[in-house]
Structure 1
């Protein structure tokens, strides 16, 4: 256990621990802030390097041969893991991920370091890694271990060198395959990969040491930190940066980058096409261009796009999107430039124009229809009123004196005149509602006498279908705020609808209920019922439920739609409950006064 406590604290030990601490901080920073291909293997290399540095520090701080050998043996899992993981990292990033990689990675990161580590830790039993001739000696003024290497040492070193040479081959292959813009990165990767190899060869063949110690772990530390520097400065390994760069180059949307003076600093391929040859030179003052000059000038002066930035350029319509570029030194200060993306909305604008044109045409057609209906309705109503009046006079004064056939024809004419008058009134109401001209005289009302009056007013219509009205009304008042004339129209529509769909001899049941907040009017018939899912047809305009019985009873298909509109103006609702073959109940809900 004495080997677990350091005995010497001199400059070499302190320097090694400083390198260890800096490397550990760097490893945590990479782990938390960067994502790149092969990151798992890279972090394994970091772990191997940290273990190697820690054991190196403990060996440097030991003053006995036994402890130095102990820490030298303990270092071997890290010694093997470091180059193995580095090679797997380069393989994953530079060559790519294939089916053999998981198995190769498992062997490289677990099996190899584990086996060699066991051989090293069991050296006291076989002395095939370090022989019994290993001794202490003064090297560069401090006590160091001079190791006599056994055959297993050279096997282990060969294993490690196989991976180190493979990493060199991978770096060369990547450098040859890479795009020209990326080749400097892989040249640098190759150079820093060669550093620990050269250092280890100098140690093994020439006895070169650092603080009397193998310089290889320190050189590997340099490799990983140098690579981190490449990541930070070039960001070629960060997949997020690669994706952003790829999107910048390949997107079809033109992108321009300009500084705080409006000077062109960069562009993507689509931006080059948009600017054309004479304006695409870096350093061009974009404020002078006729198409985008005013827009760029506004951005430079105010830091934002104008109110309506949509522009038409080269036959396309663009919706510009602006992103400020903050200063890396003063991110909270003024932007040092902007990225301007031109989103092509030509198709959307064309579709919007077509839709606007279609909407305008539909609006014009709707107004024309409304004007036509209003004109025709007014032109028909006056002569129709005269015809109805004349037929009513004939029926009241001379019906007993007319032949039976003539009296029957006059009765049919009078009934159809009344139906036509109702249709014209409905059309006029529809036209008023569409134009927002329907007036409501809201006043306090008691629904009890209103319903009684509605039953009396529509008694003749009910008699025509052989239907009797049966009312269940409260004894006290039932107060609301509403337009009496329009609510009488609602009751007339509901009762006429119930009478049409009731068989001769049946009743139309009318009930009035009141709770604390609402008043409910229920009009029930005992007719054929309404099929499920017919709400749109029931309350639609010029629509009726499609059945032979419905067609036989006639109607304009407007009554219930007008009823719904009137009730909505009263902040009320209408719905129905129906059972086929048994009848339908329409339920009106109105706010209580």
Structure 2
């Protein structure tokens, strides 16, 4: 195996016109590849570009091998060509695969694995030659004593194994293209035939080189023929718009869409309209038609030219129909570096029935909302009536559990329960009448609300009995509040009752959780202390406070 010196690899010299030809191919191929990259997407485009870049890199290594004077450097460049030699048939196979299946989406994992794995294995096999001699065999040497003479390579088993793998991808490309030829028709079949021929040309050249030693200036003719194939294919796509398949498809979609479409130039000329638009607006079908001759289009054109951003699509009425219109600028994509607007596409979507349904639905929803609001008000009123005493407006027994649970849930550390009962209320009813008794109940309810805090809850438990729940109040403050209640109720009694019948009450106080752990036990405890106040002379408070009378 020939040894190489890296320092000698920078010593380059031309050996003939073939060197300059290959060097000239590199920028041409790079520019064309970049131009193809700017073309609209087509199936397999990424892999087609990958094949172009692989071939460009391969041509670069061929040029460097030609220009290198040192035999060892020529062999080194020959080995460095193998990542790109291996990548090219893989990328071409994947291009044919995705083109035949019409795929333009993300690259699948198995495709990434082939793109990376096969070139990596080819590179490792080639670069192992100095150590193993299994790729380029020890007999590899210059073909003649002349300076810069081509290398006569002797191939080892790894070379043929790598070639078999790459031929497998080429064979796969032939199978896919053959299936495409069998299934396609018309222009599509012609395109598959051309792809088949383009794939066959460099493949046959490579077989001739490997099996029979056919070469160009001592080099593998495959990259040269492949470059012409890719250039020819790129020219077909660029100049013929890919055999106008894309244009044909667009025309089919344009005429087949159910929505009317009108395409206009910047000066208002109607450039194209589909059958649906011509049926809707016959004036748009005239040879010299402009938007200014069609009233419904003139307003849309004015709006489109203004460039105003709309939150909702504009609406136009044509005949008995109502249409929403999409205004889409038509860009000139062939002017590199610009995004000039050539005109506009007006797409009409009939919304007559939808708008009628929306109006009916809105009216029905408004009526339903009104009914729901009335029902909510009624439900609130019923709920209030269920929880409220109708005479005094205070909460009743039904609200007791809910309010107590709300206080405990809010984190109250202590809750006082004060049970209040009007003294000698039966005598008031008997001597002053039930109406006056009701006035007394209302007055005491008012006094209770004034004497205690907003956070406290006052209940009428029934008859002349009342309950107050007081969260987180200290005993001294509670005692002061009850004292105020006695003063206020006495004043109210003086206004409603004769002086011989003062308004007084007895009270029982219990505390949660000191006296009881449940609401029921708390009420029982307060009620027992109320009974104590009643049985020991009335007009007093019994419980964990100073007894008052």
TM-score normalized with structure 2 length: 0.53
Equivalent in 58, 75, 81 of residue 69 of structure 1: 75
| Deviation sequence 1:435-484 (CA, Å, 0-9, x none) | xxxxxxxxxxxxxxxxxxxxxxxx867238696454379xxxxxxxxxxx
Aligned equivalents of 1:580 and 1:36: distance in 2? 78
Residues of 2 paired with 1:21 and 1:471: CA distance?
97
Distance 2:11 2:184 in 1: 50
Change (3 A) 1:6 1:191: farther
Query: What is the 5 A alignment of 1:285-296?
Result: 285=289, 287=291, 292-295=296-299
Which position in structure 2 is the counterpart of 1:318?
323
Please, which runs of 5 or more residues in structure 2 have no aligned partner?
373-428, 471-517, 524-549
- Post-superposition shift, 1:91? 1.7
Query: Which of 322, 335, 343 is the equivalent residue of 2:349?
Result: 343
**3-state DSSP class of the match of 1:256?**
strand
Contact 1:208 1:214 in 2 (8 A): yes
Give the corresponding residue for 1:147: 152
Task: Specify the SS of the correspondent of 1:506.
Answer: strand
Task: Specify the alignment match of 2:496 in structure 1.
Answer: none
Aligned residue number for residue 466 of structure 2: 506
In 1, Cα distance between the equivalents of 2:342 and 2:34?
A: 32
Residue of 440, 443, 457 corresponding to 1:463: 443
Q: Residues 506 and 180 (structure 1 numbering): CA distance in 2 closer, same or farther, change over 3 Å?
A: farther
User: Residues 514-570 of structure 1, C-alpha deviation per residue, up to 9 Å, x if partnerless?
Assistant: xxxxxxxxxxxxxxxxxxxxxxxxxxxxxxxxxxxxxxxxxxxxxxxxxxxxxxxxx
CA contact (8 A) 1:3 1:67 kept: yes
Instruction: Tell me how far apart the structure 1 counterparts of residues 348 and 324 of structure 2 sit (CA, whole Å).
Output: 6
11-20 vs 317-326, greater mean Cα deviation: 11-20
The alpha-carbon deviation at position 109 of structure 1 amounts to 5.9
> Paired residue for 2:129?
122
In the other structure, the counterpart of 1:174 is 180
Q: Secondary structure at the match of 2:451?
A: strand
Residue 54 of structure 2 corresponds to residue 94 of structure 1: no
| Shift of residue 107, structure 1, vs aligned partner | 6.3
Tell me the distance in 1 between the aligned counterparts of 2:440 and 2:289: 87
Match of 1:193 among 194, 199, 202: 199
Instruction: Identify the residue that residue 59 of structure 1 maps to in structure 2.
Output: 65
1:163 matched to 2:169: yes
Aligned-pair distance for 1:338?
A: 0.5
**SS of structure 2 residue aligned to 1:132:** coil
Are the counterparts in 1 of residues 324 and 351 from structure 2 also a CA contact under 8 Å?
A: yes
Distance 1:501 1:150, change over 3 A: same
Q: Residue 2 of structure 1 is aligned with which of 2, 5, 22?
A: 5
Distance 1:352 1:460, change over 3 A: farther
Quote the Cα distance in structure 2 between the aligned partners of 1:161 and 1:228: 24
Matched-pair contact (CA < 8 Å) for 1:84–1:109? no
The residue matched to 1:83 in structure 2 has which SS? helix
CA shift, 1:135, in A, is 3.3
Superposed, 1:539-558 pairs within 5 Å as: none
Judging changes above 3 Å, is the alpha-carbon distance between structure 1 residues 76 and 283 closer, same or farther for their aligned structure 2 residues?
farther
TM-score by length of 1: 0.49
List per-residue Cα deviations over 1:278-302 (Å, max 9, x = no partner): 6786956253775734445535775
Q: Is the 8 Å Cα contact of residues 266 and 282 (structure 1) preserved in structure 2? A: no
Query: Are the counterparts in 1 of residues 66 and 150 from structure 2 also a CA contact under 8 Å?
Result: no
In the comparison of the two structures, how many residue pairs are matched? 408
Tell me if the contact between 2:259 and 2:349 (Cα under 8 Å) persists in the aligned partners: yes
RMSD of the TM alignment (CA)?
Answer: 6.1
Instruction: Pick one of 113, 133, 139 that aligns with 1:132.
Output: 139
Q: Which moved more, 1:293-302 or 1:357-366?
A: 357-366
Query: Structure 2 vs 1, CA of residues 206 and 466 (structure 1 numbering), >3 Å: closer, same or farther?
Result: closer
Matches within 5 A, 1:192-341: 192-197=198-203, 200=206, 207=214, 209=216, 213-224=219-230, 253-266=259-272, 271-276=274-279, 285=289, 287=291, 292-295=296-299, 298=302, 309-313=314-318, 316-328=321-333, 329=335, 335-341=341-347
CA separation in 2, counterparts of 1:22 and 1:172?
31
Contact 1:469 1:507 in 2 (8 A): no
Whether the 8 Å CA contact 2:48–2:92 is kept in 1: the answer is yes
Secondary structure in structure 2 of the residue aligned to 1:276: helix
Report how far residue 320 of structure 1 moved.
0.6
| Offset at residue 54 of structure 1 (A) | 3.3
Q: Distance in 2 between matches of 1:273 and 1:295?
A: 20
Distance in 1, Cα, partners of 2:175 & 2:303:
51
Task: For 1:351 and 1:173, locate their aligned partners in 2 and report how far apart those are by CA, in whole Å.
Answer: 51
**CA contact 1:171–1:189 (8 Å) conserved in 2:** yes
Secondary structure of residue in 2 paired with 1:63: coil
Q: How has the CA–CA distance of structure 1 residues 182 and 320 changed in structure 2, closer, same or farther, with 3 Å as cutoff?
A: farther
What is the distance in 2 between the residues matched to 1:180 and 1:203? 35
How many Å apart are 1:13 and its aligned residue? 4.8
Q: Quote the Cα distance in structure 1 between the aligned partners of 2:32 and 2:75.
A: 29
**Equivalent residues of 2:86, 2:122 under 8 A apart:** no
Partner of 1:353: 359
Q: CA distance change for structure 1 residues 128 and 314 in 2, over 3 Å: closer, same or farther?
A: same
CA distance in 1, matches of 2:52, 2:238: 17
**Which protein has greater RCO, CA pairs closer than 8 Å, 6+ apart?**
2
1:471–1:509 contact (8 Å) kept in structure 2: no
1:322 Cα offset (Å)? 0.5
Q: Note if contact 1:256-1:341 (Cα within 8 Å) is conserved in structure 2.
A: yes
